[in-house]
């Protein structure tokens, strides 16, 4: 038996736009994903999250399913545009009421809420009026929105995540244009990332200065794939390190050390925004835990200065060319339905890298999971590939703990099959099957497997 620490936290995760639906109900304002998904050619088959899993209306039944799985915690995001329809001003009472009922119902079922304040769905008014995450005022609006959430929910919510995957927002939103707001630029990702970090810092400052008595914790969740050297050469080892710093340390170093990684400052010069001394002080130490989303591993090979990097959809220069790294995979690796390689040992290595670089912070795995092409047969969904994936990756977490990493929790992505952003509804990450025509739910075999893991607090 691979036993986890006694108080290890087991949970599952979702995000508002992917499951809630009710896109214009009860005075909710439009956000950038509402706009993006309704723009022709942006989402597979022109699908959108207008209804999604209808969780806004079905949350009591969904929470009963969480209880059936045996979840001890549930990570969900609050839709900013449901709280403040235009991203500013007084809160929307209906939005406050919905999340209040959701939180109360979770607690009544002994499920601990973990709340993400921003999971990519910026109010559209802020995009149009304040230039979104490229503007200088959006971070202040975010701090005010966060304050509203702390005030109304902080008596019951003790675990807060400011931002989800700022790398994705910066790169897919402002570099490749694959995600909202759909911009393509070599330099805008650095500006967007800078303002996302400032928004995080300002929200944490508000929480610690005004809501400390609530007794909760607050942090940020970043995503990172493991980058393994393509060869054992010094150049490829340096490339793998550089790639990790351009992906994860880009956002984690300011939070733990007060500034961007030296390699980014050296490579980018004036293209990389600079923090003031006051901002460095605000950011340093601004996370009570290290939130990590992880899915896959890639090889990193050095690209000498002067040589071009074949970037495919990222061919407009920018972060991939800036780091002088070529990313590849092993054709022998099995892949998920997202074409992401399944490499559990890479997860272990990443956790140990984080532990070493940031002086062994408490780590919560806020997302990990895989998409598989599930089918419902005789009323059941048998998903052995997902079980094998989760078994390998949860096992890698255990190995990292044995080697000294302070990992305190694991949230499987995702609770429900849902709207998977630009991929629409084809990619199924949920441990619970959703029929999007009838809105019927069914526990998959992976949900039953996960329940056994939770019950025994470990892997057989």
Q: Which residues are catalytic?
A: 165, 367
Q: What's the CA gap between 269 and 131, in Å, rounded? A: 24
**24 CA to centre of own chain:** 24
> What residue spans of 211-340 are helical by DSSP H?
234-244, 250-257, 262-268, 277-283, 319-322
Asked if residue 115 lies in contact with residue 160, where contact means CB atoms within 8 angstroms, the answer is yes
Cα–Cα distances (Å) from 161 to 113, 117, 213, 227, 295, in that order, read: 11, 6, 18, 25, 19
Burial 34-72 (b: 16+ CB within 10 A, else e): bbbbeeeebbeeebbbebbbbbbebbeebbebbeebbbb
The answer for residues whose C-beta is within 8 angstroms of residue 302's C-beta and 6 or more apart is: 230, 233, 235, 236, 238, 239, 324, 325, 326
Angle at 193 between CA 192 and CA 199, to 5 degrees: 90
Q: What are phi and psi of 38, to 5 degrees?
A: -95, 5
**E-assigned strands of 119-235?**
159-164, 217-223, 226-229
Q: What's the CA gap between 404 and 412, in Å, rounded? A: 22
Please tell me whether residue 375 adopts helix, strand or coil conformation.
Answer: coil
Asked if residue 418 lies in contact with residue 427, where contact means CB atoms within 8 angstroms, the answer is no
If phi > 0 it is left, if psi is from -120 to 50 it is alpha, else beta; for residue 360 that is left
The answer for residues whose C-beta is within 8 angstroms of residue 149's C-beta and 6 or more apart is: 78, 83, 115, 117
DSSP string, 193-218: HHHHHHHHHHHHHHHHHHSGGG--EE
The answer for residues whose C-beta is within 8 angstroms of residue 159's C-beta and 6 or more apart is: 73, 112, 113, 114, 115, 216, 217
User: In DSSP terms, which residues pair with 349 in a beta bridge?
Assistant: none
């Amino acid at each position: 038996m691979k036993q986890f620490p006694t108080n290890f936290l087991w949970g599952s995760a979702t995000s508002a736009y992917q499951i809630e639906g009710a896109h214009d109900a009860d005075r909710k304002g439009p956000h950038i994903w509402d706009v993006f998904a309704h723009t022709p050619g942006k989402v597979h088959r022109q699908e959108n999250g207008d209804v999604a899993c209808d969780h806004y209306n079905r949350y009591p039944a969904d929470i009963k399913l969480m209880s059936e799985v045996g979840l001890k915690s549930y990570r969900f995001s609050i839709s900013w545009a449901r709280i403040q329809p235009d991203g500013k001003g007084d809160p929307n009472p209906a939005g406050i009421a919905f999340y209040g009922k959701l939180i109360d119902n979770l607690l009544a079922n002994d499920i601990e809420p973990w709340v993400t304040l921003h999971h990519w769905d910026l109010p559209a008014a802020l995009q149009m009026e304040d230039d979104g995450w490229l503007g200088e005022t959006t971070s202040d609006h975010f701090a005010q929105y966060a304050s509203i959430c702390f005030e109304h929910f902080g008596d019951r919510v003790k675990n807060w995540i400011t931002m989800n995957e700022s790398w994705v927002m910066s790169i897919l939103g402002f570099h490749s244009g694959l995600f909202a707001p759909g911009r393509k630029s070599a330099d805008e990702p650095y500006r967007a990332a800078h303002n996302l970090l400032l928004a995080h810092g300002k929200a944490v400052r508000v929480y610690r200065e005004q809501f400390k008595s609530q007794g909760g914790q607050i942090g940020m969740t970043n995503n990172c794939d493991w980058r393994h050297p393509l060869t054992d050469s010094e150049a490829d080892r340096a490339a793998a390190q550089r790639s990790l710093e351009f992906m994860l340390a880009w956002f984690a170093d300011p939070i733990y050390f007060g500034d961007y990684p030296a390699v980014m400052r050296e490579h980018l010069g004036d293209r990389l925004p600079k923090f003031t001394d006051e901002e460095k002080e605000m950011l340093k130490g601004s996370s009570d835990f290290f939130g990590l989303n992880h899915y896959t591993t890639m090889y990193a090979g050095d690209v000498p200065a002067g040589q071009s990097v074949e970037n495919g959809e990222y061919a407009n220069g920018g972060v991939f060319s800036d780091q002088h790294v070529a990313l590849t995979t092993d054709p022998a690796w099995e892949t998920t339905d997202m074409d992401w390689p399944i490499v559990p040992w890479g997860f272990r290595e990443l956790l140990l890298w984080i532990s070493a670089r940031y002086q062994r912070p408490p780590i919560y795995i806020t997302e990990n999971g895989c998409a598989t092409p599930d089918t419902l047969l005789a009323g059941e969904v048998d998903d052995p590939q997902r079980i094998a994936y989760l078994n390998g990756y949860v096992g890698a977490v255990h190995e990292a703990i044995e080697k000294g990493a302070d990992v305190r929790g694991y949230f499987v992505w995702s609770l429900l099959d849902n709207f998977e952003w630009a991929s629409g509804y084809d990619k199924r990450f949920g441990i619970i099957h959703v029929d999007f025509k009838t809105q019927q739910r069914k526990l998959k075999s992976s949900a039953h497997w996960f329940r056994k893991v939770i019950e025994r607090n470990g892997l057989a």
